[in-house]
């Protein structure tokens, strides 16, 4: 992806996440792959609704900073996902209220109560709590690196996608499913044969 275009798109997605109340203030971090060996990531400690394209920080997959700025403290789990998943081209981590409510309660997200949950998210693991920015958190995220979306205990949520739009859409759907779960309470999943049919689509 062209770096100038990637910077613009990442800034647009950050504003969209902020405007949709999927993240607040300086919370979260978002990144996009620009080629096989380099990514752009949001800078540390900045309000996501106020970022400009030039604010994004360029890194290689070894974590070397290649531009101005200081990358998010959590850039290492982004890099881990890019290294292990060549098809991943974007990672979105933020603190949506309903996802975080489940994360604080250590309640797993149930994605088999609607067709969209099955189709867009699949199985959503709970990443065990580790201190933000720690190597333990990097390892915990990497262990769940097969998933399209994750809930992070006491922390928030994370999605990855083949495009920035796909990663964003998964975060929006994740928050919708979390809100729905909190609203409807203990309902039955879709029938097993229907889940299998949806998974095969």
What positions carry a catalytic annotation? 74
Burial class, 53, CB count within 10 angstroms (exposed 0-12 / middle 13-18 / buried 19+): middle
- Stretch (H or E) spanning 59: strand 57-60
DSSP string over 60-128: ETT--B-SSS-B-TTHHHHHHHHHH-TT--EEEEE--HHHHHHHHHT-----SSSHHHHHHT----EEP
Read off the tokens for 80.
């881990």
What is the sign of the dihedral through the CA atoms of 9, 50, 160 and 41? positive
Pairing verdict, β 38-41 and 57-60:
antiparallel
Read off the tokens for 121.
């998210």
């Amino acid at each position: 992806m062209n770096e100038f275009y990637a910077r613009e798109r990442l800034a647009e997605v950050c504003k969209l996440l902020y405007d949709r109340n999927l993240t607040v203030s300086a919370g979260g971090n978002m990144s996009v792959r620009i080629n096989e060996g380099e990514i752009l990531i949001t800078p540390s400690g900045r309000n996501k609704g106020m970022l400009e394209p030039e604010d994004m920080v360029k890194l290689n997959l070894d974590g070397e900073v290649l531009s101005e700025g200081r990358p998010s403290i959590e850039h290492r789990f982004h890099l881990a996902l890019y290294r292990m998943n060549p098809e991943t081209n974007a990672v979105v981590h933020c603190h949506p209220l309903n996802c975080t409510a489940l994360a604080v309660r250590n309640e797993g997200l149930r994605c088999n109560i609607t067709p969209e949950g099955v189709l867009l998210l699949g199985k959503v693991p709970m990443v065990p709590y580790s201190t933000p920015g720690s190597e333990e958190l990097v390892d915990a995220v990497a262990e769940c690196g097969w998933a399209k979306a994750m809930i992070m205990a006491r922390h928030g949520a994370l999605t990855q996608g083949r495009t920035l739009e796909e990663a964003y859409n998964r975060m929006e759907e994740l928050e919708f499913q979390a809100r729905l779960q909190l609203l409807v309470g203990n309902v039955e999943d879709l029938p097993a044969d229907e889940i299998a049919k949806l998974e095969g689509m």
